[in-house]
Structure 1
Amino acid sequence: MRDWLLGIAIVFLLGRLILGLNGFRTDLEGFPHVADGDSITLNGERIRLKGIDAPELDQLCLRHGETYECGREAKRELQRLIGGSQVSCRGDGRDQYDRLLGTCSAGEIELNKAMVESGWALAYGEYETVEVRARLADRGLWQGSFDRPKEWRAGHQTVLEREGQNWFYRLGSTIGDALWSLYSRIFGGSEV
């Protein structure tokens, strides 16, 4: 009997080790709250779209000699791509802000790739050829000039940094996300 229990314990520990090496993949589905051009909240889980970097919500860019809110336009593009659809995400890691890093789809649209294709997000990793096509076609951000989001963040305090310094703001944001998720489940709504 003792050998049998030891065998089960070893199999269990090996299974946990294998799962650990695979990064504990997480699959989620539901109606999201769009935070910005590369971040959503789904069923209370904050998700960063993996392999892309969209302008920060407060970021400004230049197009046809005029300043415009490119961060807000990127958010609107992600909302447009989602429409009223449910979103499914597969996550396999976390970023420095403890957001799940995920690849997400709304129906047949892979959102990570579509944001780069539309020109409203920059690629790193597997979407780089998609970014080249968006740049050559002058889509989205490529219609003008802009600071790469990473460079812009280096000179500005981001919303996530402010959240980290203000627990009350984080609590309110978490409650708001939970209420939005509940509303979406009940009424099947999407953000406008």
Structure 2
Amino acid sequence: MTRLIAVLVLGLAACAPSGAAHEETSFSATARALDGDTMAVDFRLFGVDAFERGQLCERAGSCWQCGKAAQDLASRMLRDADAEIQLSTRSSYGRPVATVTVNGHDLGETMIRAGLAIPQLHFLKSNHARAARYSQALTEAQQSKTGAFAGRWIEPAQWRRGGRLSCER
């Protein structure tokens, strides 16, 4: 799963349309102050494991920065429009988990379709529609040899445990 930074502005209630019902949602997370009234919180994408920032993949006999490419794609999508962030009741690696939609596109599905992430279907058992979309995105990325699927790679979880391709050593 990829890390994202959600910027939480104190006083979000003031941004809600007047007369709109206001429901507070809370979660626990480690936060950083960007300035006096702006906080940043790390969370992980639900049902997705993206290549890690320092991770390398192999294609055409040499290593390339698939992890950096994953980070860059997420950054571009988040920079281009507001993100709708739907928090889950789950947590992963001590961080909240969320789905993120940008301009109507599921960020996790986009990352998988680009060959820069793999679905974590065991987390999606209760969301059959999302699991089907993520599986289809993976199949399309594999068939078109997009991103990491153009060559050799190891799962991000294995990479985090110290596994490396021969070109990384």
Corresponding position: 1:148 with 2:144: no
1:12-55 per-residue CA deviation (whole Å, 9 max, x = no partner) reads: xxxxxxxxxxxxxxxxxxxxxxxxx7111102221101111111
Task: Select which of 70, 78, 82 maps to 1:82.
Answer: 78
In the other structure, the counterpart of 2:37 is none
Distance (Å, rounded) in 2 between the aligned partners of 1:150 and 1:104: 21
Percentage identity across aligned positions?
26
Structure 1 segments of 4 or more deviating over 4 A?
none
Distance (Å, rounded) in 1 between the aligned partners of 2:56 and 2:62: 10
Give 5+ residue unaligned stretches, structure 2: 9-39, 122-130, 164-169
Give 5+ residue unaligned stretches, structure 1: 1-36, 157-192
Distance (Å, rounded) in 1 between the aligned partners of 2:107 and 2:118: 13
1:111-130 per-residue CA deviation (whole Å, 9 max, x = no partner) reads: 11111111110012211222
Q: CA deviation at 1:80?
A: 2.3
Scaled by the length of structure 2, the TM-score of the pair is 0.66
Q: CA RMSD in A?
A: 1.6
96 and 103 in structure 1: CA distance in 2 versus 1, 3 angstrom threshold:
closer
Q: Flag the structure with higher strand content.
A: 2
Pairing of 1:1-192 with structure 2 (within 5 A): 38-42=2-6, 43=8, 44-125=40-121, 126=131, 127-155=134-162
SS of residue in 2 equivalent to 1:155:
coil
Scaled by the length of structure 1, the TM-score of the pair is 0.58
Q: Flag the structure with higher helix content.
A: 1
